[in-house]
Amino acid sequence: MRAIPIAWPILLLLMGPAIAEVLHQERSLYRNIFVIQNGDQRCMSFRYPGGLGRQSCKFLHDPDRLVFQYTRMMLSGLFLNPNPRRILIIGEGGGSMPSVLQNMRPKAQIDVVELDEAVDAVARRYFGLKPGANMQVHISDGRIFVKRMAERKSNYDLVILDAYEADYIPEHMLTREFLQEVKANMAPDGVIVANTFSNSALYDHESATYRDVFGPFFNLKQLNRIILGRNGGLKPDDLATAFKNAVLLDGEFRKRGASSRDLAGMLDAQSDWNPEARVLTDQYSPSNLLNALPGR
């Protein structure tokens, strides 16, 4: 897709103590896209360049190391299944998770779903995404993709949901119906990993919705909240399994800038939300309104 210049004549702008260079900017069918380099760090942003709203970042001299804590937390899906054969990732960004999982599990079949073909092009050109023989990028709305794939009995062992922006969640990918469609694509013992907000008026509703579809799940919380669960709910020995696998995975995680043991220590299966919260459905999903309210 041809890049369309944006009306902001910015080539250099001040970001803290360093000078950040805008390497690329375009307006796609869906959004403004910036690629910004600040020292050793290169980032993709969907808004006026700045700290908030960075969709993806990489360290140029250590590309295996994950920049964001939430991406490191999402690797926790391997605690429950360290060797997934089929992986679905909804939301590509700069391709951090697809690249890492392709590197860590080269034999796994990986499907990546991205709405915006311009985002995929930028991920390949500026962030080093190189899909191998076992990875395929699908340009599609995530919900449409899972609805169509459910008929094929995909049986994904690991599903990662990361199609969200810094302050926006597509409401059609928050509902019980959507999660049921995701579940229909999962193997009987498949693992679900979802990147969500840790402090939002959506928290109770979102938690109730995931619990309604997947049963009990683990939380990992810092600035983001990662939901980690299974098709059919957690097993009684899943916490012990997670700690056991964390020990075995520690070397691989440290290469990505994470401590698997520390991440395992963050796992929390307690319900910390209002049990009377209304489940989000296709008929009731006011996600943007709820997210605009003060946090819990």
Catalytic sites, residue numbers: 162
**Token reading at 70:** 């939430």
Six token digits for residue 216: 């009990």
DSSP 50: S
Residue with tokens 């995929």: 120
Dihedral over Cα of 145, 146, 147, 151: its sign: positive
Read off φ and ψ for residue 5, nearest 5 degrees: -60, 145
Strands 12-15 and 86-90: unpaired
Which one, of 181, 179, 177, lies nearest residue 193 by Cα? Answer: 179
Ranges of beta strands (E only) in the chain are 12-15, 18-27, 32-38, 41-45, 54-59, 86-90, 109-114, 135-139, 156-161, 186-197, 218-221, 224-230
Among residues 31, 145, 144, the alpha carbon closest in space to that of 93 is found at: 31
Phi, psi of 108 (to 5 degrees): -75, 140
Rounded to whole angstroms, what are the CA distances from 155 to 52, 132, 238?
Answer: 36, 21, 20
